[in-house]
Amino acid sequence: MTALPKTPFLGVAYYPEHWPEERWKIDADLLHEAGVDVARMMEFAWDKLEPESGEFDFAWMDKALTIFQEAGISVVLCTPTPTPPPWLTSQYPDILRVDDKTGQRAVAGSRRHACCNVPAYRDFSAKIVKAVAERYGDHPNVVAWQIDNEFGCHGTVRCVCDYCRAEFQKWCERKYKTLDALNAAWGTQFWSATYHKWSEIPVPAPTSASHNPGLLLDYRRFSSDSWVSYQKMQIDLLRQYIGERPITHNFMLRFFDLNYRDFAADLDIVSYDNYPHGMSGPSECAFNLDLMRGLKRKNFWIIEQQTGHVNWTPFNPPAPPGQVRTWTHQAFAHGVDAVFYFRERAVNIGQEQYHAGLLKHDGTPDRGWHESKQVKADLAERPALTRPQAPVAILWDYEDLWTFELEPHNSAFSYYREALDLYRTCWDQNIPVDILARDADLTGYETVFVPSPALIDEAQVQKWRSYVEAGGNLVVLFRAFFKNPGSTWSDQPMPAGGLSDLLGMTVDEFLSIPLVPNVGLRPPIDKADDWNDDRGSHVNDVSARPGIGFGENFGLPTKTRYQLWAEVLKPTTATAILRYSDGYYKDGVAATANKVGQGTAYYLGCWCDPILPRVLWQALGLQKHVVTSDVRGAVTEIVKLVDETGQNVDVLLNHTKHTVTLPETSK
């Protein structure tokens, strides 16, 4: 068996079914020249592998594998289940999913149009997976496997067909055991929706008003669990034939319909599709890379890396010279072991003809090919580097995110943006950040941020208390611990579940603040007497207050703007460190600090702009981790890594269009 190349290495997505066989060797040689070590194949080839039900054709794939093996390129094979062929959907039309937003059944001819709870789809998926695993499970040039492709792409997670309804009712019975428990968890007495039979429970298909928030949240859990089960079915089948070869699946940027932590648990390697033109800039790119690394707290792969213009954003610009090389090195700096470029060549058929590849439509090298070759040369000179544990962690939770998506109480409120704003505050100063699960082990972290932990979990409070008592800095942000797991509101003062004791405060009042036209994310709330009349003409502020070493003791500016959300706090054992400077809640407490054991638990009650006010930045001592350089441009990133001898190595990334000259000592 061919082993995986030494990391870090380069790969590419290759589609032999898109090109004549006489082209395969030419492409393999060109890709090898560009530094490609591994090719990914087969994720959309179900109809070519099984042109009719039960009739398999492997001859073409056999030939492609041989050609790439002779060219010195190993292969990652994918199970081809995201694109059920027309013969299957024609024979079993119930496979086609029913959209939860429109109630309409999908039509064949695209991808990701199947429902994983339909028995026929699961059965035929198992048959094709078993067939390819039997054929290629011990192939000497197949070094790893990918399950399917981009679960949930195009918003295809939540189907509301009859099969899903039946499975959801079973899922609810397994979870709640009794209908009394379910009714209590969801609060079904509201709008007279108490269930007396499991068969009465609906799915959240389009309706005249909104569905119960408990049903909606549980349906998201159920839908995610359904695809986790479908992935697990494939993993278990593959394991019977592939030995110890690693198994992966490719996750997507800004994708929140699935709980990726649950998917990652069953995978050997997390993979990620990195398309920076779908993001706001290099800091968001870095955030998503660190989010992926945190799913298993280990290095991961980029299984699709943008190589030029894409075909799916509102405006599809080219990648400027040097950009693909920079994106690749940014990925390696954030804990990536392999970067697979997407794709090998701009395709001449189908729905993605405007998507760039390493090769142009005519098969000649494009800019991405040349930059891949340069990256390969870079790696030959690069020492083995690892990324140490960061001093700062952000705790990320998909169920908290779902809770706010379902009931934002402010259309501009975004859990994702809140976490990203926290991350950017550190990224701007080159402070490393790890992104972890809410229940993660926090040993070794100096500061931990918890963005809006909506759902109450008393066990987590005990873990956080132990962390603070041992000397940690815990920073919890607004909208914390107010919802029970079934999405009913707690009858305890916020934050509930014992968190108020740890933080030494309660929330007296909360305010959802609308966006102000032509002002940006600035709050429109001022004095009580013009609360409804003069929105948008004022800027809200909070002021730093002295106490336990904060505020004016640092000589900081006295005003900090806030936006979108504000809470008036009532300290019990905590000290006020920020107060509101205007509005009818003027002089009300906006942020607190509570000394617990050797550490401090902070609560930030408003969305400051920037999100981390300087008074809190100073109190946390984050300034000691700031990394500066005389070559740092406006958005140049400095990542601290460690070589094999334990020495620190700074990786400098120039994300600007300007040339930067490094001092001799930095080269």
Name, in order, each residue with C-beta under 8 angstroms of 151's C-beta and a sequence gap of 6 or more. Answer: 157, 227, 231, 249, 258, 263
Give the β-pairing of 447-450 and 505-512.
unpaired
Element (H, E) at 576: strand 575-580
Task: For residue 22, indicate whether it is catalytic.
Answer: no
| Number of Cβ atoms within 10 Å of the Cβ of 260 | 25
Rg (CA), the chain: 27
Please answer whether residues 152 and 260 qualify as being in contact, where contact means their C-beta atoms are separated by less than 8 angstroms: no
On whether the CB atoms of residues 304 and 340 are closer than 8 A, the answer is: yes
Phi, then psi, of 434 in degrees rounded to 5: -105, 140
Integer Cα distance of 203 and 201 in angstroms: 7
Is the distance from CB of 179 to CB of 196 less than 8 angstroms? yes
Positive or negative CA dihedral for 280, 285, 290, 295? positive
Concerning whether 150 is annotated as a catalytic residue, the answer is: yes
- Calpha distance 379→332 (Å, rounded): 10
CA distance 650 to 642: 8
Active-site hit among 43, 284, 304, 418: 304
Q: For residue 149, count other CB atoms closer than 10 A to its CB.
A: 24
Catalytic residue chosen out of the listed positions 43, 50, 150, 167: 150
C-beta neighbour count of 557 within 10 angstroms: 12
Distance CA 382, CA 371 (A): 16
Here the tokens at position 575 are 């000290």
* DSSP label at residue 446: S
Active site residue ranges: 150, 304
